[in-house]
Each structure stands twice: as C-alpha cells, then as structure tokens.
Amino acid sequence: MMMSMKESMKKSMTKSNCWYRVPFVWLLIVIPLTAVIVGFVGLALAIRSDDGMVEDDYYRQGKEINRVLARDRAAAGKGLESQVQLDDTHHELRVQLTAHAAADLPENIEIKFLHATRAGLDRGLVIARRADGSYQAPLPELALGHWNVQLAAQDWRLVGSLFVPGDRHLILRPATP
C-alpha cells in the first residue's frame, strides 16, 4: 500500500504542477527582488554623489545676514564696481576695481566662485593688487553651469553671476536689498 501511495504522488506531480511554472510564485519572488535592486541602486547613488554639508547652526547664519547687508551698503557707499575678465587663452583672471576714491582700494581682495547647486565645486582666491592698480591671478578650473561670484575685502563685497561656458566678462556690483 505504501508503494502505491508513492506512485500516486509521482503521477500527480506532473510537469505542469512544478513550482517554477506557477505565475504567482514568480510574482512573490520578483517584487522583493526588485525592492532589493532599487535599494542597492539608491545606495550607490548616495555614496557616489556629494550633496554638501547642511548648516546646523541656523541662528549664527541668521545673524550673519545683517553683517553681509552692512558689507553691501559699505560697497555702495564707496561707489565700488568691478570688471572681471576670464582669459582662457592665458589662463588668467583679471579684476579691475573702481571706487569714488582710488585710495580706498585694498591691497588684497578675495574672489569666490560659488557653484549654484554644488557647494563641493566652490573655489576661492586671494589676489594682491599690482602696480597698475589691477588684480590678476591664475584662472581656477570651473565646472560647467551657473556660478555666483563674490568679490570682497574686509568691510565690503560685490556680487555677480557667471555662466560657464560662455561668459568671459563680468561686472560685479553691490547687492541691492
């Protein structure tokens, strides 16, 4: 009798009843497998791309805004304006700064190229004034995209916008509130 039961089970397990031929089984396998694959793709993207640091001291950053506005007003009061030229052929950055009183021009200025979306690409230079009154430095490598440019000294700053590639001449003025 035992033998006959085994034979009957063998007969009932035909090829059409194998587990891999049942669509519902594949549905149960594919859904979790897809979730695992999407999770690994998301992890790879998170590791590969740098979103930059998030500022954790919002209060200090809020207080800083008043200082920045004072620097903009100081630049407007001095009548500061700057022309920036990006020379790709000579790999030079030339800055010509003008003011109401030329004696107010600082010996060193700081220029910052701030990428609009990726803080990790930001560049900054300190440039010394030359004998002819202009400022000149090596041109930093700038990635494609939109850049905000800040030219600053101890008590003032000028701002402007730049698109790479394309813009080679830029005029920086005090920010208007």
Q: Along the 177 residues of the chain, how does pLDDT read in single tens digits?
A: 455 555 655 555 555 678 788 888 888 999 999 999 999 999 998 888 766 666 666 677 676 666 767 777 777 777 777 777 777 777 777 877 777 766 567 777 888 888 877 777 778 888 777 777 777 788 777 778 788 888 777 878 787 788 777 777 777 777 775
Domains observed in the chain: 2-48 (no CATH), 79-172 (2.60.40.3080)
Quick: pLDDT tens for 80-128.
777 777 777 777 778 777 777 665 677 778 888 888 777 777 788 887 7
Residues with Cβ within 8 Å of 21's Cβ and at least 6 positions away in sequence, in order, are: 15
Task: Dump the DSSP string for 50-97.
Answer: ---PPP--HHHHHHHHHHHHHHHHHHHHHT-EEEEEEETTTTEEEEEE
The predicted pLDDT at position 13 comes to 52
